């Protein structure tokens, strides 16, 4: 979900993690949107497609081997902030609380889009007998902060527009405000499944986000997990070819053509890319020098925001979370890869309660299934592994976010094999030949004896 985006193309230039400017962080309460907002004219809320109920474990969830991870941690005692479109109350989110609303005037427990409820379900949906689907950290608690919505906009701005042209609401400033709010509420993990994008030659108005992230991480020790971003909507022209075959040793930050925030605040966040069922990077997942790890992000099953409506089975496999979306659209995006990793962060924080936020991130990155080059801009240090994150020993330091350089190795020349030992064969052949010769000589020698005996007779 892009909260603030612009299209265009231009030459890439070096844009390392931006420096945090002090004093830009938004103030604390009161809550509420900074503008006069309303639900878009002539639009209903999100429609959903029921599915994924029953004992079968969804493929994405099965790939994480969660039952083995749950032997060590289920996220007990962890408060996870979901900064999103809101989270609707659901019996499978028993610890859900409202943290505020920067879109309208609710407590954060209203979700017209369905997006935030699906994200929360992937993190913390409780385990239910007979149901295969569950959240990664089913004993963690969710606090919802509504910060963006495709179904709301500033008052009067949606009049006369087609559904696909509805402006939506949410800015980089309200995102920064929500991050501060999550930190003040004591969230140990903060999930942000949204991204703002700008061409790299344009200024990104995200200074307040940087200040809020610094506040959350350095002053409140929160682990912040964010979506790497999708190639869609205003961000569809992004390339970010950070690995240049003609210049493989180049700094990846010099090769980007689009910036994504908050992902680009690499010193403070764990940015998550998406992989498909085969572990390959999803086509929509934005590469970048900020990507830390990856997780499944295609054909997702999660909680239904409309679970109380007739026909709902409580879980969904499709959703139309935009005014022009259809209920049967599969749930896909780095938005849904990020909460899998946020759930893993909650597991790790419960298992290692004294581990600082940056060390939690390092543990998740160090134990991921690494690509051959050690790190790449599509899946970072690799696909997340919950069991390894909870049990493995990790190095003191990770290699930098840069593919390992190509190396030329001289393979050892194999030694000549020893000459074959044919002694046994030779003895056998000689022996056989000698016996044959004696037989022939004996046979030939018998002729004169037979003639002599014949003459006597």
Q: Domain check: are 77 and 222 in the same one?
A: yes
According to DSSP H, which parts of 401-456 are helical?
423-456
In this prediction the pTM is 0.86
Instruction: Give the C-alpha separation, 143 to 189, whole Å.
Output: 10
Q: Domain check: are 380 and 444 in the same one?
A: no
Q: Domain check: are 386 and 427 in the same one?
A: no
- Identified catalytic residue from 140, 261, 274, 335: 335
Report yes or no on 17 lying in a domain: no
Give pLDDT, residue 10: 33
Q: Domain check: are 431 and 385 in the same one?
A: no
Give pLDDT, residue 424: 85
Q: Domain check: are 445 and 337 in the same one?
A: no
**Mean pLDDT of residues grouped by 10 in the chain (457 residues)?**
35 65 86 90 91 95 98 98 97 97 95 97 97 98 97 90 85 96 98 93 92 97 97 78 72 87 97 96 94 97 93 92 88 97 98 98 97 92 98 91 74 83 84 84 71 61
Instruction: Give the C-alpha separation, 112 to 148, whole Å.
Output: 10
Can you read off the two tokens belonging to residue 296? 């499944």
Q: Domain check: are 265 and 382 in the same one?
A: yes
- Identified catalytic residue from 4, 47, 84, 111: 84
Containing structural domain, residue 285: 37-390
Domain total in the chain:
2
Q: Domain check: are 205 and 354 in the same one?
A: yes
Q: Domain check: are 90 and 170 in the same one?
A: yes
Report yes or no on 418 lying in a domain: no
Report yes or no on 107 lying in a domain: yes
Strand partners, 83: 145, 192
Can you read off the two tokens belonging to residue 226? 């964010």
Instruction: Give the C-alpha separation, 120 to 308, whole Å.
Output: 17
Instruction: Give the C-alpha separation, 328 to 231, whole Å.
Output: 20
- Identified catalytic residue from 47, 53, 115, 153: 115
**DSSP string covering 277-302:** TTSPBPTTBPP-TTEEEEEE-SS--E
Report yes or no on 8 lying in a domain: no
Report yes or no on 165 lying in a domain: yes
Q: Using an 8 Å Cβ cutoff, are 103 and 112 in contact?
A: no
Burial class of 227 by CB neighbour count within 10 A (0 to 12, 13 to 18, 19+): buried
Give pLDDT, residue 440: 82
Give pLDDT, residue 450: 61
Q: Catalytic residue at 115?
A: yes
Can you read off the two tokens belonging to residue 14? 């070096």
Coil/strand/helix, residue 186: coil
Report yes or no on 18 lying in a domain: no
Instruction: Give the C-alpha separation, 92 to 138, whole Å.
Output: 9
Q: Domain check: are 429 and 366 in the same one?
A: no
Residue 56 sits in a domain of what CATH number? 3.40.50.200
Q: Domain check: are 332 and 429 in the same one?
A: no
Report yes or no on 205 lying in a domain: yes
Q: Domain check: are 289 and 194 in the same one?
A: yes
Burial class of 89 by CB neighbour count within 10 A (0 to 12, 13 to 18, 19+): middle
Q: Domain check: are 198 and 340 in the same one?
A: yes
Q: Using the structure block, give the residue that is written with the tokens 């103030």.
A: 27
Q: Using an 8 Å Cβ cutoff, are 349 and 77 in contact?
A: no
Report yes or no on 273 lying in a domain: yes
Cα separation of the two ends of the chain: 123
**DSSP string covering 231-294:** S-GGGTT-------TTSTTS-GGGG-SEEEETTT-TTTEEEEEEE-TTSPBPTTBPP-TTEEEE
Burial class of 95 by CB neighbour count within 10 A (0 to 12, 13 to 18, 19+): middle
Give pLDDT, residue 184: 97
Q: Using an 8 Å Cβ cutoff, are 87 and 165 in contact?
A: no
Cβ neighbors of 331 (< 8 A, separation 6 or more) are: 118, 299, 300, 301, 302, 316, 317, 318, 319
């Amino acid at each position: 979900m892009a909260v603030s985006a612009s299209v265009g193309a231009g030459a890439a230039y070096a844009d390392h993690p931006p420096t945090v400017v002090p004093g830009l962080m938004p103030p604390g309460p009161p809550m509420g949107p900074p503008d006069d907002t309303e639900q878009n004219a002539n639009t209903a809320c999100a429609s959903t497609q029921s599915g994924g109920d029953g004992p079968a474990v969804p493929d994405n969830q099965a790939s994480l081997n969660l039952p083995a991870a749950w032997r060590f941690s289920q996220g007990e005692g962890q408060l996870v902030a979901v900064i999103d479109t809101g989270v609707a109350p659901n019996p499978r989110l028993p610890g859900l609380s409202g943290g505020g609303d920067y879109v309208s005037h609710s407590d954060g427990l209203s979700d017209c889009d369905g997006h935030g409820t699906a994200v929360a379900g992937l993190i913390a949906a409780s385990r239910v007998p007979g149901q295969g689907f569950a959240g990664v950290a089913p004993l963690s608690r969710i606090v919802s902060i509504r910060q963006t919505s495709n179904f709301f906009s500033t008052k009067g701005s949606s009049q006369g527009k087609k559904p696909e042209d509805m402006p939506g609401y949410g800015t980089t400033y309200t995102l920064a405000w929500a991050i501060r709010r999550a930190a003040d509420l004591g969230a140990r993990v903060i999930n942000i499944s949204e991204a703002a994008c700008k061409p790299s030659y344009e200024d990104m108005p995200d200074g307040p986000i940087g200040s809020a992230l610094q506040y959350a991480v350095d002053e409140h020790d929160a682990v912040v997990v964010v979506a790497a971003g999708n190639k869609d909507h205003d961000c569809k022209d992004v390339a970010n070819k950070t690995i240049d075959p003609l210049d493989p040793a180049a700094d990846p930050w010099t090769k980007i053509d689009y910036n994504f925030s908050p992902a680009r605040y690499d010193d403070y966040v764990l940015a998550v890319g998406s992989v498909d069922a085969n572990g390959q990077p999803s086509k929509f997942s934005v590469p970048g020098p900020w990507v830390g790890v990856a997780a499944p992000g295609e054909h997702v099953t999660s909680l239904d925001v409309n679970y109380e409506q007739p026909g709902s089975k409580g879980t969904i496999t499709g959703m139309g979370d935009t005014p022009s979306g259809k209920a049967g659209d599969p749930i896909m995006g780095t938005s849904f890869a990020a909460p899998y990793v946020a759930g893993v962060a909650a597991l790790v924080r419960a298992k290692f309660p004294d581990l600082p936020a940056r060390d939690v991130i390092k543990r998740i990155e160090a134990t991921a299934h690494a690509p051959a080059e050690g790190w790449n801009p599509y899946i970072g240090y690799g696909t997340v592994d919950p069991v390894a994150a909870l049990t493995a020993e990790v190095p003191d330091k990770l290699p930098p976010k840069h593919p390992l350089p190509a190396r030329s190795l001289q393979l050892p020349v194999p030694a000549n094999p020893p000459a074959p030992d044919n002694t046994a064969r030779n003895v056998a052949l000689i022996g056989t030949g000698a016996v044959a010769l004696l037989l022939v000589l004996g046979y030939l020698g018998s002729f004169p004896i037979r003639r002599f005996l014949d003459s006597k007779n």
